[in-house]
Amino acid sequence: MVTFTIGMDPDIARIGPILLTWHGFFTAVAILAAVWLAGRELNRKQITIPNFDLLAVLTILGGILGARLFFVLDHLGEYLRQPWRILAITEGGLTVYGGIIGGTVTAAVLLWRQRVPIGPVADAVVPGLLLAQGIGRIGCLINGDAWGGPCTCLACSGAAAATPTEGLGYCPFALRYTNPKALLPADLLGVPTHPYPIYDMVVNFLVLAVLWRLRRRGLPDGSLFALYWLLYGIGRFFVSFVRQEAVWFWGLQQAQVIALATALVGAVALLWLLRRRTPAAAVVRS
């Protein structure tokens, strides 16, 4: 069992009242990468959006608000005790699904008001969204705000097995946070934990690879975005089993419940889009 120790200070520097953090740095890099790749795909598809820069800024703000809102709701007890920390987003604490939903709703409303077709734009934006999610997880990896549960297999703890089959839990490698500023719970400091941020990063890049191969296949508008919801939802559901978050119901965490819901919505939308195109294709062939 290999355990990687992360002892980096989550903070880069403080400039007056402004705290620069690695989480904030990689969030900014992720946003720039998403905007760059989305702009490239929009140009490739010859889609022109009036006031694209303003729409991008408002969509990013909507995503950040949604990401923070979902995180606060998932840790409501903690923030009710310290409500002033709700606005302290430089500490970390942004959920991916909150950002996806907040940004999607914001962009959809703005595109609808400008009478720009939503489907083609969504397909053009989704590769950049996945790239941003993967890059953003680097910040989570450093500051520990998306922690995995403790690895309980004997290989992680270094204990000797009493029987040949004792402690054979799966844990291919582990992360151990040692910096007291890390954002995971205090009782996990110095404890080998499942590398959840890395698992989620892998899911994002795998889904990105699939969609990148399909983006020129002539699928109905909106299909790539629907497939993103389906594939990422499935991947996120399974990797979240190694997380340590509050359980909502049926033994499932908030992220898993939302992952199942988004995967179902993505599957239904994808089937509807593909079935809607079938009659037209049949007419052309005849």
Does 12 fall in a domain?
A: no
Where do the DSSP E strands lie in 98-185?
A: 173-177
Counted domains in the chain:
1
Residue 151 binned pLDDT confidence (cut-offs 50, 70, 90): confident
Query: Which of 32, 178, 255, 58 is CA-nearest to residue 24?
Result: 32
Does 91 fall in a domain?
A: yes
Does 119 fall in a domain?
A: yes
Q: Flag whether pLDDT at 203 surpasses 80.
A: yes
Distance CA 224, CA 203 (A): 16
Distance CA 95, CA 78 (A): 16
Lookup: tokens for 265: 């919505």
Select the more confidently predicted residue: 272 or 161.
272
Q: Quote the domain boundaries for residue 260.
A: 19-148+195-277
Does 89 fall in a domain?
A: yes
Select the more confidently predicted residue: 246 or 56.
56
pLDDT of residue 209: 96
Does 204 fall in a domain?
A: yes
Helix axes 22-44, 52-74, angle to 10 degrees: 140
Does 265 fall in a domain?
A: yes
Does 155 fall in a domain?
A: no
pLDDT in tens, 152-186: 764 555 544 333 333 334 678 899 999 999 988 88
pLDDT in tens, 204-217: 999 999 999 998 88
Phi/psi for 176 (5° steps) reads -125, 115
Residue 193 binned pLDDT confidence (cut-offs 50, 70, 90): very high
Taking the alpha carbons at both ends of the chain, their separation in whole angstroms is: 61
Select the more confidently predicted residue: 213 or 86.
213
pLDDT of residue 100: 79
Among all chains, which residue has been given the structure tokens 């993505």?
266
Q: What average pLDDT does range 173-200 have in this prediction?
A: 91
Query: In angstroms, how far apart are the furthest CA atoms of the chain?
Result: 71
Q: What is the DSSP letter of 285?
A: H
Average of per-residue pLDDT values in the chain? 82
pTM of the model: 0.80
Q: Answer for the pair 123, 223: CB distance below 8 angstroms, yes or no.
A: yes
Q: Answer for the pair 28, 217: CB distance below 8 angstroms, yes or no.
A: no
Does 13 fall in a domain?
A: no
Q: Answer for the pair 134, 121: CB distance below 8 angstroms, yes or no.
A: no
Return left, alpha or beta for 149; rule: phi > 0 is left, psi -120 to 50 is alpha, else beta. beta
Among all chains, which residue has been given the structure tokens 């939802």?
233
Phi/psi for 184 (5° steps) reads -75, 165
Q: Answer for the pair 124, 42: CB distance below 8 angstroms, yes or no.
A: yes
pLDDT in tens, 221-260: 999 999 999 999 999 999 988 887 777 777 888 788 889 9
